[in-house]
Amino acid sequence: MNICVYLSAQPGKGGKYLDVVRRFGRRIAEKGHRLIYGGSKSGLMGEIAISALHAGGEVIGVEPEFFIESEFQLDGLTQLIVTKTMNERKEKLIELSDIFIAFPGSTGTLEELADTASLIKMGRIDSKLILFNYQGFYEPLKALFKAMVDDELIKPDELRNILFADKEQELYELIETL
């Protein structure tokens, strides 16, 4: 399975996400899945890719040209796909992937998961988006989705393929059921 992971190019406060990201990278490789991600060597992005590679996994990075010019790419990837724009990058990540996982991240992660959630909701892609609510990171977004349903701005069944996993084991179980 091609697993797209959206996550930060920063390590996060006190590095509190590093261990869980490294475990997930190893797990992807050990289960024979392929990691699809943004291609960066920095922060959580770099850690997940390095962990998957060290565990013998395949890792495909997708980066826009201006990231390459700034030397943000991780060397040693199975494949690095270079796009002209960030929008092309998002399209390529979606095209290559069977499932999408959002770890804690910043505005780029938020944009990626919003685009993916919209495409899933509209039936443009037949997949699942799992938001890893590690240490409650995505509680505000969970509350926003609830408000959308409560205010009848979205139908509950339109969110059926957008899932939240609060614990690491729950995340692994959701992936394995697909």
% of the chain residues with pLDDT over 70: 100
Condensed to tens digits (0 to 9), the pLDDT of residues 92-150 reads 999 999 999 999 999 999 999 999 999 999 999 999 999 999 999 999 999 999 999 99
What is the band of 70 on the pLDDT scale with cuts at 50, 70, 90? confident
**Model pTM score:** 0.95
What is the predicted pLDDT for the residue at 123? 92
* Domain extent listing, the chain: 2-173
Give the integer Cα–Cα distance in Å for 64 and 78.
Answer: 17
* Cβ 102 vs Cβ 83: under 8 Å: no
What are the structure tokens assigned to 160, written together?
């059926």
* Cβ 93 vs Cβ 3: under 8 Å: no
What are the structure tokens assigned to 33, written together?
């899945």
Tell me which of 3.40.50.300, 3.40.50.450, 1.10.565.10, 3.40.50.720 is the CATH number of domain 2-173. Answer: 3.40.50.450
Alpha-carbon torsion 51, 137, 143, 173, what sign?
positive
Tell me what the pLDDT averaged over the chain comes to: 95
What is the predicted pLDDT for the residue at 143? 98
